Amino acid sequence: MRTRLLALGLAIAGLLSAALAALAVWRRMGREAADASTEPFAPPITVASPSSKTLPDDLEPHPTGMFAALGRFDYRYRRLLPILGLALMIGLNVWAGQAGGRLIQGGWVIEGSEEQRAAELLADRFGAQATTMLVIFEDPTGDAASAEFQQLVAESLEPIAGDPLVDEITTYADSPVEMLLSEDGTKTLAVVTLTEDEEEAVEGAADLAAKVDAPAGVTTHVTGIPQLYHEFNAEIEADLVQAEIISLPIALAILLAVFGTLVGAVLPLLVAGLALLSAFAVISLLAGVIDVSIFVTNLGTMIGLALAIDYALFMVSRFREELRHHSVEIAIERMMGSVGRAVAVSGVAVAIGLASLIVFEAAALRSMGIGGVITVVLTLLFALTALPATLAMLGPRVNRLRIPLPAPLRLVEDDT
């Protein structure tokens, strides 16, 4: 109970932090707009040319503050930071390919919980252990205990009997116990004990199931924990591919409608790609040390894609706005001093909320919290370094490759 209350408290704290950060940014933007509208000698804001500055480049005052200083750092090393970001992503993936661990299928059972007692009961009554495959045969004549039907069962299981993954096969003919025969006598159960651990058993479950030679006219079902986890994995992979196929084109279309240029629209997707590939590599490396659930990939994809596009959208938009009145260097500093700070605060708030999952006892939930925090941190890293550096290199070229959109489809009016 105390663990749940602590997790709830951390989640609420994260939400409150995000709300306060959004309120602070909103109020700051309101004050800036009010100051701009009441300043008696304010320059007009309809200047369209990026080269039209209020002051020469060498006379423009530099913004102050920690994030403005980070913007100066990004501008100074604008050619190096994107290369370092790409090298970091590639290096992490190469390292993960050599030393990465395997994501686990389970991790949901808490030691001493009712769920664990239920799993032990299933294992005791039905042999449903983590490394056991179950094959159910249904006799159409209604006599599954007969010698003739048991002979069919043995012939059906013969193709997998010599498989290295199979340790032992127990049928009703070998051990005529009640657990291997249904109450009405129409179905019989074969228990296939596997030699490998749970993770290896899951990988081989599909191949073993395909080798079972079902007799003609006999209904056969292959189940068990390895088979169930294998089907879960297949669904997860299919869902990830489907999500990417559907979400990425939609995101690109929205970004094109916002920016009106192909260069500006692609930048958020590049940040998302760098962040997600790096996060998955770190998660794989972490899986070699602790138990990490396979569902972390789903969580990381959702969070990383959303945050990367969201943060990059704000930063690119603010950079283009600042570029209308300032040099590239000052535009980067002003962007980082305002939107960059808001992005950092928002990312910290999201990370705090996800960190609340770490206090749960289930290994799967803990790993989701850790994986989520890793994804957020790497998204922030690339959004606050590689993205501003890339914008600094592009400068006015961020408005290149315009997309001629009809007026009703433009989400933002652009006079650049």
Q: Which candidate, 120, 121, 122, 126, places its Cα nearest to that of 188?
A: 126
Same-domain check for residues 267 and 394? yes
3-state secondary structure 307-351: HHHHHHHHHHHHHHHHHCCCCHHHHHHHHHHHHHHHHHHHHHHHH
Assess if residue 414 is contained within a domain.
Answer: no
The whole-number pLDDT of residue 176 equals: 84
Same-domain check for residues 324 and 195? no
**CA-based angle 413:336:76, to the nearest 5?**
115
Domain boundary, last residue among 229, 249, 268: 229
Q: Which candidate, 328, 326, 339, places its Cα nearest to that of 383?
A: 339
This prediction's pTM: 0.70
Same-domain check for residues 276 and 387? yes
Sheet holding 166-170: strands in order across?
A: 166-170, 187-194, 132-138, 219-224
Q: Report how far residue 89's alpha carbon sits from residue 295's, in angstroms, rounded to the nearest whole number.
A: 22
Assess if residue 415 is contained within a domain.
Answer: no
Taking only the tens place, the pLDDT of each residue in 170-196 is: 888 888 888 888 888 899 988 888 887
Q: Report how far residue 277's alpha carbon sits from residue 93's, in angstroms, rounded to the nearest whole number.
A: 7
Residue 122 CB partners (closer than 8 Å, separation 6+)? 128
Domain boundary, last residue among 229, 258, 292: 229
Spans of the chain below 70 pLDDT:
1-61, 63, 106-109, 115-116, 119, 122-130, 197-200, 404-416
Same-domain check for residues 183 and 155? yes
Same-domain check for residues 120 and 212? yes
Q: How many domains does one find in the chain?
A: 2
Helix (H, G, I), strand (E, B) or coil at 363: helix
Same-domain check for residues 55 and 156? no
Assess if residue 416 is contained within a domain.
Answer: no
Same-domain check for residues 119 and 152? yes
Assess if residue 396 is contained within a domain.
Answer: yes
Q: Report how far residue 51's alpha carbon sits from residue 66's, in angstroms, rounded to the nearest whole number.
A: 27
The whole-number pLDDT of residue 305 equals: 87
Same-domain check for residues 37 and 80? yes
Residue that has been written with the tokens 């993770």 in this structure: 199
Same-domain check for residues 298 and 336? yes
Instruction: Note down the domain range covering 220.
Output: 114-229
The whole-number pLDDT of residue 393 equals: 92
Residue 277 CB partners (closer than 8 Å, separation 6+)? 89, 92, 93
3-state secondary structure 45-99: CCCCCCCCCCCCHHHCCCCCCHHHHHHHHHHHCCCCHHHHHHHHHHHHHHHHHHH
Assess if residue 343 is contained within a domain.
Answer: yes
- Identify the bridge partners of residue 193 per DSSP, sorted by sequence position: 132, 168
Domain boundary, last residue among 180, 208, 229: 229
- Whether residue 302 contacts residue 31, with contact meaning beta carbons closer than 8 Å, is answered with no
- Whether residue 14 contacts residue 350, with contact meaning beta carbons closer than 8 Å, is answered with yes
Same-domain check for residues 23 and 89? yes
Assess if residue 39 is contained within a domain.
Answer: yes
Q: What is the CATH number of the domain that holds 300?
A: 1.20.1640.10
The whole-number pLDDT of residue 373 equals: 95
Helix (H, G, I), strand (E, B) or coil at 209: helix
Same-domain check for residues 282 and 350? yes
Residue 4 sits at φ, ψ, to 5 deg, of -65, -40
Strand stretches in 195-233, DSSP E: 219-224
Same-domain check for residues 100 and 131? no
Could you give the angle at which helices 386-394 and 66-76 cross, rounded to 10 degrees? 60
Q: Which helix (H) or strand (E) holds 284?
A: helix 262-287
Residue 95 CB partners (closer than 8 Å, separation 6+)? 281, 285
Q: What is the CATH number of the domain that holds 162?
A: 3.30.70.1320
